[in-house]
Structure 1
Amino acid sequence: MDLIIKNGTIISPTETYIADIAVKDGKIIGIGKGFSEEEATVVDASGKLVLPGAIDVHTHLAMPFGGTVSADSYLAGTRAAACGGVTTVFDYPVQRSGMSILGLINEKKAICEEEACIDYAFHCCITDLNDGAILDEMEKAVEEGITSFKCFFVYKGMMVDDGTFTKLLLRAKEVGAMLNVHAESPAIIDLNIENFLKEGKTSPWYHYLSRPEYVEAEGDIRAVHWTKNLDASLYIVHMANKEGLEAAVEAKREGYDIYVETCPQYLEFTSEVYKREDGRNFVCSPPMKGQESQDALWHAIKTGGIDVVATDHCPFQSYEKDWGKDDFTKIPNGCAGVENLYPYMLSAANEGKITFNKAVELCSTNPAKIFGCSEKGSLTVGKDADIVIYDPEKEFTISVDNMHSDYDHTIWEGVHLKGYPTMTFSRGRLVYKDGAFVGEPGWGKFVKRIGRK
């Protein structure tokens, strides 16, 4: 035996019980009592919760965007993830015209082999079909464990039209992949921006007003419409509005294979943040919405309408955000979150908003099931020993000074959490303990995922 975690309260999506966990060679080999402690590292988790590591299926590490590159490298982003109880991250490399899927993914894998502190997987953002070559390559990509692809309805140079979206939906269905979508209405955004700039309305508040609830809802409803009529599968990323959420949830009730993700920033903040002096720091797309949408998101989390909570982690430095202090269109879009995901959702459970079981379902079990991570997502014999020990009594206030990324500010500054992770194990190896990262770059392994066929 390599590791025994004893006397802790184990949390699954459906059960809560006290037991010991035995680990050998990176795998969980037993759950129960009476394991031999000879030659094993023994951790007493009395009074603490023992959880499967979170899976953040939405990050943008070292991503070129808005004239710069997101602040966290693969090393910094995965280090921060480990310190927040995330044991697997999914990154979104962006395929451009002339690029192949696997050429891009292999380039990123080579970086992660040197830098990743925890396990990692990739979606691939498709921006150009390369005269159909990308559609052909998708089957090979699925065989190589890249079983999900993303397209954007927005961003010039990256967005796809309805015809391309349809081709990707149908091809993903053929090869057993999942298509992810960033859904907003680009023409209306452009019209709003044009009008605001003419009127001299350039503060971050107009970032929100240029892409308010109905703009995101139109994209969501359109994506759901095509998915239903083509009998395909769809994963809607970073859902932030009530109307689009309701359309997706209704389709799910009707039996369509549609999944919904939201992010902690939409659960914590509303559009009022864009009126703050530091409002530019909160600029992301889609933006935070009004209270009615936030209430709808929390309701859907409690009732099963939302399947996953992930982060869209894409931080930029404060001086880069300052590029748009007088013109919101120049603000790089994105916020930090990977280290805050699990602590935030577990704090919500600790405060009684949801159960701990629901937090595990949203942040670990569902992401693993939806995206084919057969060795992840639960504390089960035979699965990877990705384990988090959580102290429900620990008080924690988030600050840039106690985070482990490379950014110089965080939208989470000053947010108080009830309870906090004290240890993170990645495949049985301790990578975080009591506020300090204790892992190493290069430890992380590529997660080859299973397709949907």
Structure 2
Amino acid sequence: MDLIIKNGTIVTPSESYVADIAVKNGEIVAIGTGFSEEGAQVVDAKGKLVLPGAIDAHTHLAMPFGGTVSADSYLAGTRAAACGGVTTVFDYPMQRKGSGIIETVQARKDMCDPEACVDYAFHCCITDLNGGAILEEFKAAVDYGVTSFKCFLVYKKEGMMVDDATLVKIMLKAKEAGAITNVHAENPDLIDLNIQQFIKDGKTSAWYHYLSRPEYVEAEADKRAVHWAKSIGAPLYLVHMADKEGLEAAIAAKMDGNEIYIETCPQYLEFTCDVYKREDGRNFVCSPPMKGQESQDALWKAIKTGAIDTIATDHCPFQSYEKDWGKDDFTKIPNGCAGVENLYPYMLSAANSGKLSFNRVVELCSSNPAKIFGCIQKGSITVGKDADIVIYDPNKDFTISVDNMHSDYDHTIWEGKTLHGYPVQTYVRGNLVYNNGDFIGKPGFGQYIKRVGSK
């Protein structure tokens, strides 16, 4: 054996039990007791939880947006991921007019390969059908390992939005190819209408970012996406769900037997729209914005009942001086916040406080995203799977600060948040990449995950 992790409490979506894990050549080869330790690295995890590595299915690394590029490169973002127990990240390459899917993804893969510290995969954002050629490429893209395509129902001025007819074409073709359509749901016309009035009235603080995109703006687009998915019988994955009304519509459709998946993010579970009234409110600007307490309560309820399928981060940080561009005009604030290093620790701390079970956290952050997106080697501590393993100390207290994070940004919305319990080691395919506060992995170690479609 190469590695034996012994005496820890293994956590799965359905059970928790004490056993040893034997790893060879990057895979879990046995779970039990009494393994020969000869020649193996032996780690005693007594008193600790042994979890599958988290999968952050929503990040934007080195992403051009808002007149700049998100602060974390592929190296910095995946380094931070490793230090938070995330062993696989999904990024969102942006297909543009005249470019193909595989061409777009390959260009980002070429950037990621020499830098990735954990394993990685790609969704592809579709912004233009290139006269229909993009639709004909879906099957080849699935064969390439890209089994999910994203549509924006917003960002019209930025040239990223798709109209309803294009959305339906994409959903139908994705279904045919064995892929799934991810949707960012907000209504751009209502947002533009609100912004126009606020700017006219001189209402330009970060608070008006929220008021320009309140609950009903997201809810309308959520319900529209759900309506099309139900009507054409196509799978749908709603990213960063933040509002109660849209959440309830998606849950109702799920209960009727439609293949609809719901993702939310830690920032919506921790913060409400009140953060935009703060002096540093611009640092919290993301889209969709944090909503009111009623929406936050609905999200937590849906997590506890099993209605929400995944937790991801929408990790897209910017430097504070870039956020300051919008100090006097919220429309100039680059949209996005940090989160990839905070995902697993935040959710596990919630479990440690009794808010939900550790089993449910594993389901939300690891096994469900692996299943939904075709990562057949990931998402569970099972014989034959990759040895993506996190050792978690439930008694270790940790206070988040920009000074103890491992990204390249200069501030974090999580500053000062104290967590009870924290990851102490992260293994990617049996290799130790994070150890008690220190990143010890190597850029370029991470591998591209070729995912499997549903057909």
TM-score range, shorter chain: over 0.9
Q: 2:35 and 2:48 mapped to 1: Cα distance?
A: 19
Aligned-partner residue type, residue 323 of structure 2: K
Aligned-partner residue type, residue 154 of structure 1: V
Equivalent residue number for residue 60 of structure 1: 60
Aligned-partner residue type, residue 152 of structure 2: F
SS of 2:137's equivalent in the other structure is helix
Identity of aligned residues (%): 76
Equivalent residue number for residue 242 of structure 2: 240
TM-score, normalising length: structure 2:
0.99
Equivalent residue number for residue 419 of structure 2: 417
Offset, 1:452:
1.1
TM-score, normalising length: structure 1:
1.00
Offset, 1:356:
0.1
Alpha-carbon RMSD across the aligned residues, in angstroms, is 0.4
Q: In the TM superposition, what whole-angstrom CA distance separates every residue of 1:96-151 from its partner, at most 9, and x where no partner exists?
A: 11111111111111122100000000000000000001001111000111000001
SS of 1:94's equivalent in the other structure is coil
Q: In the TM superposition, what whole-angstrom CA distance separates every residue of 1:317-354 from its partner, at most 9, and x where no partner exists?
A: 00000000000000000000000000000000000000
Q: In the TM superposition, what whole-angstrom CA distance separates every residue of 1:34-75 from its partner, at most 9, and x where no partner exists?
A: 000000000000000000000000000000000000000000
The yes-or-no answer on 1:197 pairing with 2:199 is yes
SS of 1:298's equivalent in the other structure is helix
The yes-or-no answer on 1:258 pairing with 2:260 is yes
Give ranges in structure 2 of 5+ residues lacking alignment: none
Equivalent residue number for residue 147 of structure 1: 147
The yes-or-no answer on 1:446 pairing with 2:451 is no
Equivalent residue number for residue 24 of structure 2: 24
Q: 1:439 and 1:112 mapped to 2: Cα distance?
A: 15
The yes-or-no answer on 1:5 pairing with 2:2 is no
Matches within 5 A, 1:226-305: 226-305=228-307
The yes-or-no answer on 1:95 pairing with 2:73 is no
Offset, 1:226:
0.5
The yes-or-no answer on 1:135 pairing with 2:135 is yes
Offset, 1:386:
0.1
The yes-or-no answer on 1:320 pairing with 2:341 is no
Equivalent residue number for residue 337 of structure 2: 335
SS of 1:286's equivalent in the other structure is coil
Q: 1:452 and 1:305 mapped to 2: Cα distance?
A: 22
SS of 2:432's equivalent in the other structure is strand
Structure 1 residue ranges, 4+ long, deviating more than 2 angstroms after superposition: none
Equivalent residue number for residue 310 of structure 1: 312
Q: 1:110 and 1:195 mapped to 2: Cα distance?
A: 44
Give ranges in structure 1 of 5+ residues lacking alignment: none
Q: 2:212 and 2:372 mapped to 1: Cα distance?
A: 32
Offset, 1:166:
0.6
Offset, 1:256:
0.0
Offset, 1:294:
0.1
Q: 2:113 and 2:154 mapped to 1: Cα distance?
A: 32
Q: In the TM superposition, what whole-angstrom CA distance separates every residue of 1:227-255 from its partner, at most 9, and x where no partner exists?
A: 00001100000000000000000000000
Aligned-partner residue type, residue 137 of structure 1: E
Q: In the TM superposition, what whole-angstrom CA distance separates every residue of 1:390-412 from its partner, at most 9, and x where no partner exists?
A: 00000000000000000000000
Q: 1:386 and 1:329 mapped to 2: Cα distance?
A: 41
SS of 1:114's equivalent in the other structure is coil
Q: 1:149 and 1:212 mapped to 2: Cα distance?
A: 26
SS of 1:339's equivalent in the other structure is coil
The yes-or-no answer on 1:181 pairing with 2:190 is no
Q: In the TM superposition, what whole-angstrom CA distance separates every residue of 1:361-399 from its partner, at most 9, and x where no partner exists?
A: 000000000000000000000000000000000000000
Q: 1:152 and 1:42 mapped to 2: Cα distance?
A: 47
Matches within 5 A, 1:339-418: 339-418=341-420
Aligned-partner residue type, residue 67 of structure 1: G
Equivalent residue number for residue 14 of structure 2: 14
Aligned-partner residue type, residue 335 of structure 1: C
Equivalent residue number for residue 44 of structure 2: 44
Q: In the TM superposition, what whole-angstrom CA distance separates every residue of 1:253-273 from its partner, at most 9, and x where no partner exists?
A: 000000000000000000000
Q: 1:293 and 1:305 mapped to 2: Cα distance?
A: 14
